[in-house]
């Protein structure tokens, strides 16, 4: 009976710092070859007198002009101070290539093209019908000659009436009559020149 008799620790076996922490195994030496760097000696001298004819300013300017600029990557951020991710692989950009109807003409485009084709056909038929109704008739050589003779005959009659005017025109009706005859003669001369200039003449049906 009484307290348990326990062996007291020796004062020499005191607890040391980091003694209860797990100890890592010793690091094994890498079998990889170590690269030996050669350090220049004190007696070594740098190579002097080596010059280059390259114009670095011109070369850099030419490379900057010819070079293609880098396109900025599209990124997305999950929160205000979060990490950045590529937008293309984030799933936020729709991939139209994966749609079932990709590359197929939409139905509304087919319908609109069909309506445009029918409207063009109706317009073409209307133009053909209009041209057919307004077709021009060609004047034959006999009709042209008779028309030319009639115009010349009318010009002679007007010219004869013009020559039969009195020398002294002192009243307003005489002046108006003279101006009217001059206008008729000019119009007949213009028509005669037009017909003589063109051998082929067309006349509209309307």
Residue 95 lies in a domain: no
Which tops the pLDDT comparison, 7 or 37?
Answer: 7
Higher per-residue confidence, 170 vs 143: 143
Residue 180 CB: number of other CB atoms within 10 A? 13
In a domain, 1, yes or no: no
Has this prediction a pTM greater than 0.85? no
- Which pLDDT band, with edges at 50, 70 and 90, does 187 fall under? very high
Q: In this predicted model, what pLDDT tens digit does every residue of 149-170 receive, in sequence order?
A: 999 999 999 899 888 888 777 7
Q: Is residue 164 part of a domain?
A: yes
pLDDT tens digits along 70-114: 888 888 888 888 888 888 888 788 777 777 878 888 899 999 999
Question: What would the two tokens of residue 1 be?
Answer: 């009976």
101: in domain: no
Does residue 83 sit within a domain?
no
Number of folded domains in the chain?
1
Count of beta carbons in the 10 Å neighbourhood of residue 10: 7
137 pLDDT band (50/70/90 cuts)?
A: confident
Asked whether residue 90 is assigned to any structural domain, the reply reads no
Residue 162 belongs to domain spanning: 137-204
147 domain-assigned: yes
- d(CA 160, CA 168) in angstroms, rounded, equals 17
Summarize the confidence of residues 161-183 as an average pLDDT.
85
H-state helical runs in the chain: 56-66, 107-133, 141-163, 172-197
């Amino acid at each position: 009976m009484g307290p348990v008799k326990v062996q007291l620790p020796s004062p020499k076996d005191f607890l040391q710092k980091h003694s209860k922490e797990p100890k890592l195994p010793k690091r094994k030496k890498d079998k990889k070859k170590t690269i030996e760097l050669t350090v220049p000696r004190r007696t070594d001298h740098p190579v002097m007198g080596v010059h280059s004819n390259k114009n670095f300013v011109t070369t850099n300017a030419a490379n900057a002009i010819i070079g293609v600029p880098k396109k900025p990557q599209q990124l997305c951020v999950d929160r205000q101070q979060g990490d950045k991710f590529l937008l293309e692989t984030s799933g936020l950009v729709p991939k139209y290539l994966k749609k079932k109807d990709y590359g197929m003409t939409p139905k509304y485009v087919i319908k609109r093209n069909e309506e445009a084709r029918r409207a063009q056909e109706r317009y073409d038929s209307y133009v053909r019908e209009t041209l057919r109704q307004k077709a021009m008739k060609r004047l034959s050589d006999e009709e042209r000659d008779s028309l030319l003779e009639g115009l010349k005959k009318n010009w002679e009659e007007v010219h004869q009436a013009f020559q039969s005017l009195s020398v002294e025109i002192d009243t307003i009706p005489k002046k108006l009559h003279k101006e009217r005859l001059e206008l008729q003669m000019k119009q007949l001369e213009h028509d005669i020149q037009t017909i003589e200039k063109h051998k082929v003449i067309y006349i509209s049906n309307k």
